[in-house]
Chains A and B, each alone.
Chain A
Amino acid sequence: MAGGLKEELKYQGTRALDEVDQRGGLVEFHKWFLLRNVPRGLSWLHTLGFCLLIVFVNQAVTGAILAMYYQPGADTAYESIQRITFDHDFGWLVRGMHRWGASMMIVLMFLHMAASFMMGAYKYPRELTWITGVLILATTLAMGLTGYLLVWDQRAFWASVVAINLNGTAPFLGPYISEFLRGGSEYTADIIPRFYALHMLLIPGALMGLIGIHMYLVTRLGVTPAPWKTDDPANDPEAWS
């Protein structure tokens, strides 16, 4: 009996999910994370943070795939990118997604920051959310800086020289920052693996941690009501609890 099999599968499936949930608390987490109350009057401006998350995932996935073909070395980097762009299937597309996604992430980040600022989302009790957001901004800019060199053409090299020297002009610690980025006082072949490790491992690790904290705080503290909706009685924080 087809109906009986369907019923049985549904029963067994639910049971398996229940077993997992009993141990992992997934339903509870799902309710806490996604099925929460939001204030009235949300606008498209409230979606910019989620857009950023999507672009970040795009960067992470396309970056991981590009890393399968990229060869970080002074003699190999440029040629391997030529192969990615012209020889590998859809290489041009994945590289383009990563390259334009990077610009998109910076643009969206400034829009998200402006919207959060205009909504007063930096005010009590969301100061920490704002501070982690600023750290995410700095970390993302560092991603842009370290990723730019990896193309290893003339523009990539000289733009990185300029950026490293720019870091060097910071008072007092500047000379040490530029030495750290350069990996010494000279530009050597080691700068590519150095920037690659920063771009692939160190900075993304920090970025993922910061995004996790940022999203935890957003979930815990709730979405800021739009300033044009603060008169709405439903948006009175007292009424929520």
Chain B
Amino acid sequence: MSDAAHTPPGDESAATAADKEMTRGQFMTAATVGVGGLMGLLIAAPVAGMALGPVFGGEEFEPVFVGKLDEFKEGTFTKVVLTPHGDKPDAYVRKKVAFVRKNTQKDGKWSDPFALKGQEEFAVISNVCMHLGCPVQASTSGFICPCHGGSYDADGARTAGPPVRPLDRYIWEKRGDELWATAIYALEKDGGKATHRDPGQHTSGPEQYFYPLQP
């Protein structure tokens, strides 16, 4: 490019020819930057991969024992500590807490408005507040969160405070006389099933389109 100044004015073809001609210095610069950059990329790629790997690791849910079927009483919640990956040394960091209720049936209709098809018999509700993830506690009217005052009714629907969606629920299955959780899912406002995501992320309303991609 800088060679253009040295070409006679008015001689367009000579100027473009000079532009295409590469000096040794320019070649050395381009080769150093190019080859050096390539080597740098080759070295940096696996390092960045190790740092960012967990972001794209997806979510694995190990089925976990919830309790014996006869532990859970109709209409009232039992607090259960779930210990997935119980064999791992850091299992105590991975512990989760759920509230389990046996739902009631009246005239063939189940009492739980949020239950998925085939999941009406038990409600296994996560204790993770859907504002920012603090643990909720059972209250006389349902659940409340100590951090920022989020409140939920006994089905996990938000009644007050900042939470953006109902409490997450676990998919359960019976294994003999035991109750097991096999998956966790996020709820839409009306109880519909949404892909699982972190607390604070909407599942309904226009804000749900802020979170189109889940790692």
**Which residues does A use to contact B, with CB under 8 Å?**
74-75, 158, 161-162, 164-166, 168-169, 171-172, 174-176, 178-180, 182-191
- Are B215 and A176 in contact, CB atoms less than 8 angstroms apart? yes
- Are B199 and A185 in contact, CB atoms less than 8 angstroms apart? no
Q: Return the contact of B211 from the options A162, A174, A184 (Cβ within 8 A).
A: A174
Determine the distance from Cα of A190 to Cα of B134 in the docked complex, in whole angstroms.
Answer: 20
Determine the distance from Cα of A168 to Cα of B198 in the docked complex, in whole angstroms.
Answer: 7
Contact size range, B = 20 to 34
Q: Give chain A residues whose Cβ lies under 8 Å from the Cβ of B39.
A: none
- Are A189 and B215 in contact, CB atoms less than 8 angstroms apart? no
List 12 A-B residue pairs with CB atoms under 8 Å apart, sorted by A's residue number: A75-B89, A162-B133, A171-B210, A176-B213, A179-B54, A182-B54, A184-B54, A184-B57, A185-B59, A185-B215, A187-B94, A188-B90
Across the two chains, which residue of chain B brings its CB closest to A187? Answer: B93
CB-CB under 8 A for A158 and B134, given A168-B201, A189-B89: yes
Interface residue SS majority, chain B = loop
Determine the distance from Cα of A135 to Cα of B10 in the docked complex, in whole angstroms.
Answer: 49
Determine the distance from Cα of A183 to Cα of B93 in the docked complex, in whole angstroms.
Answer: 14
Q: Return the contact of A158 from the options B55, B147, B211 (Cβ within 8 A).
A: B147
**Which residues does B use to contact A, with CB under 8 Å?**
51-52, 54-55, 57-60, 89-90, 93-94, 132-135, 147, 197-201, 210-215
- Are B59 and A172 in contact, CB atoms less than 8 angstroms apart? no
CB distance from A129 to the nearest CB of B (A): 29
CB distance from B48 to the nearest CB of A (A): 11
- Are A171 and B211 in contact, CB atoms less than 8 angstroms apart? yes
CB distance from A224 to the nearest CB of B (A): 37
- Are A172 and B210 in contact, CB atoms less than 8 angstroms apart? yes
CB distance from A127 to the nearest CB of B (A): 28
CB distance from B148 to the nearest CB of A (A): 8
Across the two chains, which residue of chain A brings its CB closest to B147? Answer: A162
Q: Specify which of A169, A171, A180 lies most central, judged by the most chain B CB atoms within 10 Å of its CB.
A: A169
- Are B214 and A175 in contact, CB atoms less than 8 angstroms apart? yes
- Are B54 and A175 in contact, CB atoms less than 8 angstroms apart? no
Determine the distance from Cα of A180 to Cα of B57 in the docked complex, in whole angstroms.
Answer: 10
Q: Give chain A residues whose Cβ lies under 8 Å from the Cβ of B55.
A: 176, 179-180
Determine the distance from Cα of A165 to Cα of B129 in the docked complex, in whole angstroms.
Answer: 11
CB distance from B47 to the nearest CB of A (A): 12
CB-CB under 8 A for A180 and B200, given A175-B211, A185-B215, A189-B89: no
CB distance from A116 to the nearest CB of B (A): 32
Q: Return the contact of A174 from the options B52, B59, B201 (Cβ within 8 A).
A: B201
- Are B215 and A175 in contact, CB atoms less than 8 angstroms apart? yes
Determine the distance from Cα of A179 to Cα of B213 in the docked complex, in whole angstroms.
Answer: 12
Q: Return the contact of A162 from the options B90, B132, B213, B215 (Cβ within 8 A).
A: B132
CB-CB under 8 A for A172 and B213, given A161-B134, A162-B132, A184-B57: yes
